Structure 1
Amino acid sequence: MGQLCSSDVEELNVASTMDTYFQNFNMINKIISEETLNLITSKLITGDTGSLGVIIDGVLKKVTNASLNIAVTGECGSGKSSFINALRGLKPGDEQSADIGVVETTMEPTTYQHPKFPTVIFWDLPGIGTTNFPPEEYLKKVKFGEYDFFIIISSTCFKDTDVQLAKAIKDMGKHFYFVRSKIDIDLQSEQKHKPKTFDQGKFLEQIRNKCLQGFRQSEMETPQIFLISSDEVFEYDTPILMKTILSDLSTKKRHIFMLSLPNITDEVIESKRDSLKQKVWLEAFKNALWATLPLGITSNYDKKKVENSLSEYRALFGVDDASLQKLATYSKVPVEQLKSIIESPHLLEKKKNESASKIFFKWVEKFCLANGGLLAMGFYFRNTLFLQLYMLDKVASDAKILLKKTFSEKGWISPQVKTS
């Protein structure tokens, strides 16, 4: 890889730009550790760039290939399968969806891969209340060491066995989250029986307090209880749960978990975009280092790769053709209507009457790429980065538009959804 001298790096202000760029991201969205960021910037400042490509490539591989194993436990009928389907963006009857209402007859965990991210795996574990094992033995039976964190689900109240299980998980140094499911059903029932005095906020607080009673009687610190509905995944505490899990995950695992989440709020969509913006910066800079060599990058700078990037972004944000067709079926809206309100499907179509200055700029760019050197690095880095960020912003904007469309068609505008 070609060496850049200190004056070249200073001219580009890459170190300062990189530090500023990455510091602007929220901590729970960062995909690169402070230690690694400091290492890269220090090498840029000193001009020691020979190993930068290897370092950045290592970061990208860790982020891209990270695996995540999520254990979901609870008694049969608690809503485990519905929850797993919801986080995988699936509904009952969809291909690869988890079966709902199946009676547990075995201690063997059942695995469900995310349809778009095969390294994200949900493990459906039998509830500890359905076994005769003490917590420590239960965890050993279900292969405790394979999971990154545990989600303990109940559709009523958490039992003493659930509390003891959480204690054992904590003692073994892993995170757990208590999820109270089927909140929508409880709300509907309460409103039906008390139409005049029904107060949603007070009723939800009653459910939360009832769930905490078992913990107050134990010596365990009172945990946070997340109230959710797998059928209305946009509502209640699901966004808070996702944010809490992200804050607990290691830096290298945040990216894959963030991308795997369904677009439940504008904030989730923005976090996905921010996570990808960091990856795009690292990839653009790594490739720009190779561009300092004559003909080092020209073969990678082509229309096909740009088209592939756009297709990948559309799939990640659920605005690709397959996702649009699925949303159209679910929302009972013609797919052509959905396509008419977003931009990304036609983003790369050629615009007529390009100005002479643009044509000249492209020619200069092509010349620099063919001949290498610092100017080539500057052109490649800036143009690759700007183009990728432009596509990302457009696709993320489309995802927000479709999210708002989903709410408006169903007649329930969520306070979580903002107009962009």
Structure 2
Amino acid sequence: MADVFRGLNLLETLKESIENNKLSDVKDAVEDLLISRINLAVLGDREDGKTTFINSLSGLSPGDDGAALSPSTVSPEEVAGYPNPKHPDFRLWDLPPVPSTSPFEPEGYMERVKFLRYNAVFMTFTKTPQPNTVKVFLEARSQQRQTVYFVLLASEKDTEKSLEEKRKASVEVLTSKGVAQPKVYLVKPSTLEKFDFPGLLEEMGRDLPEIRAHALLLALPTLTSTLVTQKKEAFKALVWAAASLSGGVSAIPVPFVASMVDSSVAMRILTKAQLSLCLDSESVERLARQRGIEPMRLKGLRTCELSVEVTKGEVKRRLAAAEKDLATVSSKFVEMAMPRHARSASRSFTAMLQALNGAVDEMAADAEKIVAAAVGEGV
């Protein structure tokens, strides 16, 4: 398995918070993951490659609701925002190009576009970064902002040789302008699973605060089987936290949920999982169009009922089945899984953990089959 977000262990962080009785921290983490609140900005000339890159980050195609338009209708000086239709709190921002005028004060540009409010900024270009853009990068670093990345966008006309020549020239420009150990990520806007984008995600996973890195992970489209695996692991951590807040620590007042009788938390998690794994019919159809595949072929790979539709009836059925199966779960397993505060509490922790983990496993398996069929993995 590739090492995207390898430095993060959300489950251990959540367990530590529960053990330290910091339930409000766990509640906030659960809400953050369910909402996926994150702001990414893409800086650079407004041309087709940048527009395609913005749309690919949201899993959208031209003409889709919420997609960036090409040619852009946005004023050259204006900042344009694109909330994700599936994840409204995952927002992409199209920043205007840095002026090439001289003299140039990077602080003025940064203030105008609200540079520091974004969780991460991609500085895109198609040849080499222009000098004033490098000044903005250096100013951001001087303000302790690490999550700023140089992205060389590949066009259809580029060859492997021309791209490497551009990368080399870009590194030389950055070095000459005072950037220490510069990194230039080569990205193909229409197919992000190619070239350096997975490595860029790995870098972001180390640079972003842990909860923001996971929010980004859950909001991105399922580009590779590695991302599917990482999403599955994040959802299992989320399931553990929600189960702990629900029945597991019911002796401690927590306003997040009332009781396991109400399956609303399970519904929210599994609905989020369906959207994050791009299993809903709209996402599957869009992916099929993007890859030139018959939509029914990809839809037919969804064998889990929850992959097709998350219904309260199916969620309640799974919770009830898990409750009935608790007699077959060893007490040692329950004790190991359950937070210390919860070990004398109700059985709903284990029921929720078992039911939702099983559902997440099934949904992730469907997502892996769809990704393999769409991008050719394992074919």
Q: TM bucket by the smaller chain?
A: 0.7 to 0.9
| One-letter identity of the residue aligned with 1:38 | E
- Which deviates further from its counterpart, 234-243 or 126-135? 126-135
Q: Which residue is 1:148 aligned to?
A: 119
1:225 to partner: Cα distance: 0.6
Contact 1:85 1:98 (8 Å CA) reproduced = yes
| Amino acid in the other structure paired with 1:129 | P
Amino acid at match of 2:280: D
Residue correspondence of structure 1 range 236-385 to structure 2 within 5 A: 236-289=195-248, 291=250, 297-301=259-263, 309-345=269-305, 361=324, 377=345, 379-385=347-353
Q: What is the rounded CA distance, in whole Å, between the counterparts of 2:67 and 2:325 in structure 1?
A: 48
* Counterpart position of 2:331: none
- Aligned match of 2:80 in 103, 110, 123? 110
Amino acid at match of 2:111: K
**C-alpha distance after superposition, 1:8-38 (max 9, x if no partner):** xxxxxxxxxxxxxxxxx9654433675x643
1:254-279, CA deviations, whole angstroms, 9 ceiling, x for partnerless residues? 22111111111111111111111111
Bigger Rg, structure 1 or 2: 1
The question of whether the paired residues in 2 share the 8 Å contact of 1:32 and 1:59 is answered with no
The residue type paired with residue 156 of structure 1 is K
2:2 is the alignment partner of 1:38? no
Task: Give 1:192-207 correspondences, 5 Å limit.
Answer: 200=160, 203-207=162-166
For the pair 1:178 / 2:150, whether they are aligned, the reply is yes
Q: Structure 1: where are the runs of 5+ without partners? A: 1-24, 44-50, 188-199, 352-357, 366-373, 408-412
Give the fraction of aligned pairs with identical amino acids, expressed as a percent: 21
CA deviations on 1:71-106 (whole Å, 9 max, x unpaired) are 211123273222111101111111111112337644
Offset at 1:399?
Answer: 1.1
- Letter aligned with residue 324 of structure 1: V
Q: CA shift at 1:309, angstroms?
A: 4.6
Deviations 1:111-140, CA, capped at 9 Å, x for gaps: 111222222222211111356642121112
Do residues 98 (structure 1) and 60 (structure 2) align?
Answer: no
8 Å Cα contact 1:269-1:317 kept in structure 2? yes
Q: Which amino acid aligns with 2:279?
A: V
State the shift of 1:331 in Å: 3.9
Change in 2 beyond 3 A, CA 1:55/1:173: closer
Determine helix, strand or coil for the equivalent of 2:158.
helix
Question: Which of 206, 209, 212 pairs up with 2:168?
Answer: 209
Distance change in 2, residues 1:96/1:273 (3 Å): same
Match status 1:85 vs 2:55: yes
CA distance in 2, matches of 1:64, 1:342: 23
User: By how many angstroms is 1:390 displaced?
Assistant: 1.1
Q: Match of 2:278, SS?
A: coil
Residue 64 of structure 1, CA deviation: 3.9
Amino acid at match of 1:40: I
What aligned pairs does 1:57-96 form with structure 2 within 5 A after superposition?
57-65=27-35, 67-77=37-47, 79-96=49-66
Cα 1:329/1:183, change in 2 over 3 Å = closer
CA offsets 1:190-236 (integer angstroms, 9 cap, x no match): xxxxxxxxxx4x55432321211212322221311111111122211
**Structure-1 separation of matches of 2:27 and 2:38:** 21
- Aligned residue number for residue 193 of structure 2: 234
SS at match of 1:230: coil
5+ residue gaps, structure 2: 253-257, 315-320, 329-341
In structure 2, what is the Cα distance between the partners aligned to 1:54 and 1:145?
A: 27
Verify: 1:400 aligned to 2:368, yes or no: yes
**Mapped partners of 2:324, 2:93: distance in 1:** 53
The residue number in structure 2 matching 1:386 is 354
Identify which of structures 1 and 2 has the higher relative contact order when contacts are C-alpha pairs closer than 8 Å and 6+ apart: 2
Name the counterpart of 1:123: 93
Q: Amino acid of the residue matched to residue 248 of structure 1?
A: D
C-alpha displacement of 1:281: 0.4
